[in-house]
Structure 1
Amino acid sequence: MAYRPTERTEARRTQTREKIVRAALALVARGGYREAQVAAVAKRAGVATGTVYRHFPSKADLLTEVFRVASQREVDAVAQAGGETAQERLIAAVDTFARRALQGRRLAWALLAEPVDPAVEAERLQFRRAYADAFASTIAEGVARGELPPQDPAFTATALVGAIGEALVGPLSPTHADTDVDVLVSRLITFCLRSTTDQEVD
């Protein structure tokens, strides 16, 4: 008779997998991808190294899942940034994007710029598209309501995400000196408004 996992064993398997991902994510946030060696992940998760490999056939598989979980959390935070008008939502989105990155610099560096395995790099491209989609939705709604001038929302959003990410790479670098977060965020918001409207921050 073929073995069929019960709900309890399946729930335990899911819990173990999530524990492994959390452990790897904590290590990446502390020291980047090279910190998340499989043996270190297993030790932090309180499981055997073989258990990690049962859930993730390779280190690249594990880090791809870590990247997916971490990046989705960041995209969701940006997408939920509120405001009554499109301009207010754009300001909130840029503010959220930048401040979360600058508060968790090591993880943000890993998500945006750290050299990675090709599988993780492919996920990084999806991450950028998801960010662009969040911005494009706000811009498209603003154009439709007459709150923003006519423009191609997808093009503008892609350009914004690329520019914001590039502007953050230097400050997020592990070798970079301290950054004045408020000044940097203000500059990014001004750039965003100049790129999407004919207005600037008062």
Structure 2
Amino acid sequence: MAYRETEKMRRRKAETRQRILDCARHLVSEGGFRHAQVTQVASRAEVATGTIYRHFESKEQLFAEVFRAATQHEVDKVAEQLAGEGDAVERLDRALRSFANRALRGPVTAWALIAEPVDPRVEAERLVYRRAYAALFEKAIRQGVAEGSLPPQEARHSSTCLVGAIAESLVGPLSPVQSGTEVVAATDHEPLINTIVNFCLQGLTGTRR
């Protein structure tokens, strides 16, 4: 008789797979991708190491899915801010401010998503999501040019510059290795965020805010 997987078994497998993903994501939030070793994920998820490889073909696939889910959540937050009220400049201000604030409030996760050295498969996902951020910013910039709140410009180029500027400006503050400097305290976030946002918007508008 041919083996037939029951609905109960499929549901149990799906639950186990999700638990593995959730535990891996929690480990990443605690110490980055290098902290989320497969043995630690298995221990946290209360499964055997071999069970992980029955659900994921490799560690790289597991981490890529963790990265994808975590980054999509951040992309959605930026999209929410850009879909709000106000002209393009106001919406871009809110989106950039929200992105920087969320990163600085969760520095370990933000470092893992933005700059931590990772496997090529995860790095490929990082490039995909940088393009996703750029696409959102490009749409807002085009709307700003159309409504007159932004001067004429190459929206696609401006959007990629925006992504690069905000990501690079956060690398230092988020880095677990601070070259002789202190980690930015929670109460000190506002001046840094203002500097980052003002720089980005000045580049888009050509005027000092």
Residue 33 of structure 1 deviates from its aligned partner by: 1.2
Is residue 189 of structure 2 the alignment partner of residue 184 of structure 1?
no
Q: Percent identity?
A: 54
Distance 2:164 2:3 in 1: 49
Mapping of residues 112-131 of structure 1, within 5 Å: 112-131=114-133
Q: Retained in 1: the 8 A contact 2:114–2:171?
A: yes
Residue 193 of structure 1 deviates from its aligned partner by: 1.4
> What residue is the counterpart of 1:25 in the other structure?
25
| TM-score normalized by the length of structure 1 | 0.94
Distance 1:83 1:197 in 2: 19
Matched to 1:114, the amino acid is E
Mapping of residues 1-202 of structure 1, within 5 Å: 1-81=1-81, 82-176=84-178, 177-179=182-184, 180-201=188-209
Distance 2:8 2:22 in 1: 21
Unaligned 5+ runs, structure 1: none
Distance 2:105 2:160 in 1: 24
- Taking a change above 3 Å as real, the CA distance of residues 86 and 4 of structure 1, as seen in their structure-2 partners, is farther
Residue 189 of structure 1 deviates from its aligned partner by: 1.1
Matched to 2:111, the amino acid is W
Greater Cα shift, 189-198 or 123-132: 189-198
Matched to 2:41, the amino acid is V
Greater Cα shift, 66-75 or 44-53: 44-53
SS at match of 1:115: coil
Residue 9 of structure 1 deviates from its aligned partner by: 2.6
Distance 1:196 1:11 in 2: 49
- Across the aligned residues of Structure 1 and Structure 2, the Cα RMSD in angstroms comes to 1.4
- Taking a change above 3 Å as real, the CA distance of residues 152 and 16 of structure 1, as seen in their structure-2 partners, is same
Q: Retained in 1: the 8 A contact 2:174–2:183?
A: no
SS at match of 2:198: helix
Q: Retained in 2: the 8 A contact 1:83–1:92?
A: no
Residue 7 of structure 1 deviates from its aligned partner by: 3.4
Residue 3 of structure 1 deviates from its aligned partner by: 3.6
- Taking a change above 3 Å as real, the CA distance of residues 170 and 7 of structure 1, as seen in their structure-2 partners, is same
User: How many pairs does the alignment contain?
Assistant: 201
Distance 1:156 1:164 in 2: 12
SS at match of 2:47: coil
Residue 5 of structure 1 deviates from its aligned partner by: 3.2
Distance 2:154 2:8 in 1: 50
